[in-house]
């Protein structure tokens, strides 16, 4: 990580919470941008204190960031923030529609301070009839049919991860990168937006196009007609489960040879993929019976030797011990609030052989308030006065 990072020299100021906005900042921060998270004093970002299914949000999406904890309701606090915004290349926010405008920190306000700024607003909906609504990942999954496609008939079910929040943040980052590139040519900043609803529509586009092509509605995943005969989860004789897929005619021949299905291989009525899909009710009982006599490790070993797609059925916590993630360097350390060091997945790509891990640990509230104020020209005496008045807080303040 000693080499220069792709986004070094880019300063991002973020007003974000939960998942969508922080994901955008994480992507930019991991790639080398200086990302400064502005948090409200005296409590800091509420995401820090979420429990239940939100307990992992803060630690997942906030490494490599600096924290400025400030009272935006105070004149001096707002003055510090506006001084910071004047130095920003990028500003991001994902609060409810109109919230930043009410604070005097909307795009038009920031543009007056910083005409070349790129301002990214991540919302539930892009401009249109729905843009006044408040959205959640569940809301847009229900609206777009993603939940319908995931659950059984009559039982819509959201995806098991914050897929729209994460992807919405990623698309926000893509728009920012495009705007930064365009600014090199034009010298102008701009306002960009990313929509949670539109992201979910993008995810179900393949099902929309299935209907357009076939004239038949896409069935929910649990009751769909698969595009392949062997594309399912199979029970093994030791009480485990393994997913196996056979997605081409050549793989079918390899599959039959690897597992000794000589009769199936010789059956000319099963030579082509669509023929096998039609004969799925005939093929699957034979395969299930055979796999039911095998152990999980034996089944996976045969698939691996044959180059067939397969996967053990795992839980998210199992990935902390995943051989590939650990040996390939796909995890990076962060420190939990209780002082424990744990590993968290890195961004899922590399550039010229480089992966992008943690340079800065997940910040405490206001960890960098002092240094940022001094960089903005505040004297040591002024900084101490603002800290004493709790206009700003550092990691030794009340919010620890």
Catalytic annotation, residues? 165
Residue-wise DSSP of 253-317: HHHHHHHT-HHHHH-GGGSSHHHHHHTHHHHHHHHHHHHTTS-HHHHHHHHHHHT--EEE---GG
Q: Which residue has the tokens 């650990």?
A: 326
Q: CB atoms < 10 A from the CB of 20, how many?
A: 29
Alpha-carbon Rg for the chain, nearest whole angstrom, is: 26
| Pairing relationship of beta strands 310-312 and 331-335 according to DSSP bridges | unpaired
Distances (CA, A) of 232 to 222, 225, 239, 354, 375: 11, 12, 16, 35, 57
Which residues are 231's β-sheet partners? 245
Give the 3-state secondary structure of residue 47. helix
Q: Is-contact 138 197, C-beta < 8 A?
A: no
Give the 3-state secondary structure of residue 318. helix
Tokens of 112: 């007056």
Q: CB atoms < 10 A from the CB of 294, how many?
A: 18
- The size of the chain, in residues, is 400
User: 3-class secondary structure for 184-236?
Assistant: HHHCCCEEEEEEHHHHHHHHCHHHHHHHHHHCCCCCCHHHCCCCCCEEEEEEC
């Amino acid at each position: 990580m000693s080499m220069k990072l792709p986004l070094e020299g880019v300063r991002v100021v973020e007003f974000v919470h939960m998942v969508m906005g922080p994901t955008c900042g994480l992507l930019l921060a991991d790639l080398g941008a200086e990302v400064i998270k502005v948090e409200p004093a005296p409590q800091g970002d509420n995401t820090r204190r979420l429990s239940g299914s939100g307990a992992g949000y803060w630690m997942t999406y906030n490494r490599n960031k600096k924290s400025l904890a400030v009272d935006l309701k105070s004149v001096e606090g707002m003055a510090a923030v506006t001084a910071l915004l004047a130095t920003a290349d990028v500003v991001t926010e994902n609060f409810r529609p109109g919230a930043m405008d009410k604070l005097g920190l909307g795009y038009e306000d920031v543009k007056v301070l910083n005409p070349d700024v790129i301002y990214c607003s991540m919302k539930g909906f892009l401009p249109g009839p729905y843009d006044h609504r408040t959205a959640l990942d569940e809301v847009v999954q229900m609206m777009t049919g993603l939940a319908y496609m995931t659950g059984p008939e009559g039982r819509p079910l959201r995806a098991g991860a914050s897929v729209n929040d994460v992807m919405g943040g990623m698309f926000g980052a893509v728009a920012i990168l495009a705007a930064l590139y365009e600014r090199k040519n034009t010298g102008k900043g701009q306002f960009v937006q990313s929509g949670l609803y539109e992201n979910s529509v993008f995810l179900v586009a393949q099902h929309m196009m299935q209907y357009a092509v076939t004239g038949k509605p896409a069935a929910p995943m649990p009751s769909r007609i698969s595009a392949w005969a062997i594309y399912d989860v199979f029970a093994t004789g030791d009480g485990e489960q393994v997913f196996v897929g056979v997605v081409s005619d050549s793989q079918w021949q390899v599959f039959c040879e690897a597992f000794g299905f000589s009769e199936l291989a010789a059956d000319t009525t099963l030579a082509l993929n669509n023929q096998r899909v039609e004969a799925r009710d005939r093929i699957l009982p034979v395969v299930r019976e055979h796999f039911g006599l095998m152990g999980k490790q034996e089944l996976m070993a045969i698939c691996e030797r044959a180059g067939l797609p397969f996967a053990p059925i795992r839980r998210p916590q199992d990935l902390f011990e995943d051989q590939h993630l650990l040996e390939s360097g796909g995890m990076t350390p962060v420190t939990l609030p209780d002082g424990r060091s744990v590993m968290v997945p890195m961004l899922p790509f590399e550039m010229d052989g480089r992966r992008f891990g943690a340079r800065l640990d997940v910040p405490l509230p206001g960890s960098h308030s002092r240094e940022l104020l001094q960089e903005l020209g505040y004297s040591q005496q002024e900084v101490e006065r603002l800290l004493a008045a709790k206009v700003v807080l550092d990691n030794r303040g009340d919010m620890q």
